[in-house]
Amino acid sequence: MALSSSAGQTGIILGPAVGGFLYVAGAPVVYATAAGLFVLAHVLVACVRTGRAAPVSQPVSLESLFAGIAFIKGRPVVLGAISLDLFAVLLGGATALLPIYARDILGTGAWGLGLLRSAPAIGALAMAIFLAHRPLERHVGRVMFAAVALFGLATMVFGVSRWLPLSMLALVVLGAGDMVSVVIRTSLVQLDTPDAMRGRVSAVNSVFVGASNQLGEFESGMVAGMLGPVPSVVLGGLGTLLVVALWMRLFPTLTHRDRLREAHPAGEG
């Protein structure tokens, strides 16, 4: 999981840089390169060899359509991990306000905005590489909550910073904390879900992740319009800390989860 995440973060960091050089060569080169990379990706996926289990015939019904949601509701660890990410990112996301910070608060312009946008991905990539070599073994529940709390604190530091290096450092720490949370959450969802339900549960998880990112940007912009960008970011980070404290009480099974893989997690059927 950490290696997969590090590959994604590498693309996030290198993509804009390579795209800038391609843009100089002209739009046809940009689109031709993108098309070629998509073809290459399809070829590589087609080369993957996997075992195929016999499909289980099951009539389509409302119950089967919402089976993923029903399963998650019955698993406190999975429900807590997914919903923690939803509300933490919903409140703590500040990426939508980076252009305002670069122009009006830090006074750096376009080049500073590029540095700010790349900082979270740099922190996430560094943490993903570290976790790939030093996997989490114990106290994963508390580590996850600590990582989300660090995400909130770093968001608040970025919100009040007026110095570009400090702002970048805060975003690097923010990205690192988010990566720890992502690795633990994704691993718990995969390991605590039976094979027959994994596709539907992963679909629900994807909806939550996508919704948190989009709604988080909307929330940041709305609050910034009413109170200003700095209060929006600081209050968002504070909200993330409150979510962490509340979720630790609401989901004690997740809080006290020791290892990623447990045969029979306590308190779950």
Domains of the chain, first to last: 68-255 (1.20.1250.20)
pTM over 0.85: no
Residue with tokens 């114990």: 138
Contact (Cβ atoms closer than 8 angstroms) between residue 16 and residue 114: yes
| pLDDT at 266 (0 to 100) | 42
Highest mean pLDDT range out of 24-38, 67-81, 152-166?
A: 152-166
Question: 229 pLDDT exceeds 90?
Answer: yes
**Assigned token pair, 2:** 């950490």
- pLDDT value at 132 more than 60: yes
Q: Which of 216, 193, 196 is nearest to 205 (CA)?
A: 193
Average pLDDT over residues 26-42: 88
Instruction: Write down the pLDDT at residue 265.
Output: 45
Is the pLDDT score of 174 beyond 70?
yes
pLDDT greater than 60 at residue 56: no
∠ CA 158-162-166, rounded to 5°: 55
Q: Which residues of 244-265 are buried (b: 16+ CB within 10 A; e: fewer)?
A: beebbeebebbbebeebeeeeb
